[in-house]
Amino acid sequence: MDSKEPVNLGKIVGIIHVLAPYFILAKEKIIMFREIIRPFDYWAPALFGAFLVFFGGRFLTTIAAAEAIRLVGVEKLADNAVILWNNFQAGVEAALKDDVPREDRGAQSWTKDKAVRVLRIFLKTLDPKEVQKALEGLYQVVLSVVATLRLRFAAAVTLGCAVGDIFRKAAELVARPRLEEALAPDYHKWIDTLIEYGCKASGIMLAWMLERVIGALHCSLRGAQLLVKHGQEAANRANLLPQHLKLAEGSPTFTAVVGAVAAVGFINQVATSFSLPAPLALFLLPLSLVEWTLTLFVGWV
């Protein structure tokens, strides 16, 4: 192969060079936003609680994944991500500083020799032990999330199949005569299969609905506890709630208020079929995409 022939590796490095500044800018904007909202940190648990109370059932898969990450360790995940990013950034900077003219950084001008030289410099700059340790940490997080989500999926499928088997005989009495009338005699051999898998599919759908209802109830209770506990603490710090009116956690009044808030949130979620109001649906579209992706991932992995 001619060493002057352009290769895809050069295109990849050129794309990385173009996109890297945008990632750095996004990181700086996130840090800036974090500093702006830092004075209101004590409101964050209460707001998160309110979100769980009224919308937790809509994002059960995402919440389960976040809980799995929390159990593994959010700080550990962040540290590993920072290690990988620092190594990547150092490798890119070292590779692009190696007497590569700016006009030669385009995708069309990268040949095999240039791409191989840049790749060697990139790999030489990385710290293998740091990268290996960070990748192992991220892999542990991924395994934890996959195991948690797959466990929920397996439980729903098992329950759904069991429910389907229970109603199979009743479905045969009702569905078999109608299917025999609707299908030609040559296809009657498929009736048992259709009834069996139809019952199992219906059972799995029912199990997923029950899973969502139970998950929404749990989110409402957990969110109500966060909202009442941290909401009154935040209001007290902001001089909006006198100290003598603060409810003691675990007291009958505190428990009653938590139960009332949870009941309102749970009934609202069920009444709206776990949907979001239009303005909030647009605002939470990225989170909805994450929920959809995780649900699809669980079903296909």
Q: What is the pLDDT averaged over residues 236-251?
A: 80
Element housing 7 (H / E): none
pLDDT, position 216: 92
Task: Report the predicted TM-score, pTM, of the whole model to 2 decimal places.
Answer: 0.67
| Position 148 pLDDT exceeds 80 | yes
**Alpha carbon 217 to chain centroid, angstroms:** 20
The structure tokens listed for 277 are 């109001």
Query: Contact 28/133 with Cβ under 8 angstroms?
Result: no
Integer Cα distance of 63 and 211 in angstroms? 14
pLDDT, position 17: 61
For 215-227, how does the pLDDT look when each residue is reduced to its tens digit (9 = 90+)? Answer: 999 999 999 999 9
Q: What is the pLDDT averaged over residues 157-175?
A: 87
At residue 296 the predicted structure's pLDDT band, cuts being 50, 70 and 90, is confident
User: Quick check: helix, strand or coil at residue 146?
Assistant: helix
For 75-130, how does the pLDDT look when each residue is reduced to its tens digit (9 = 90+)? Answer: 777 788 888 888 887 877 776 676 555 444 444 445 566 667 777 777 788 888 88
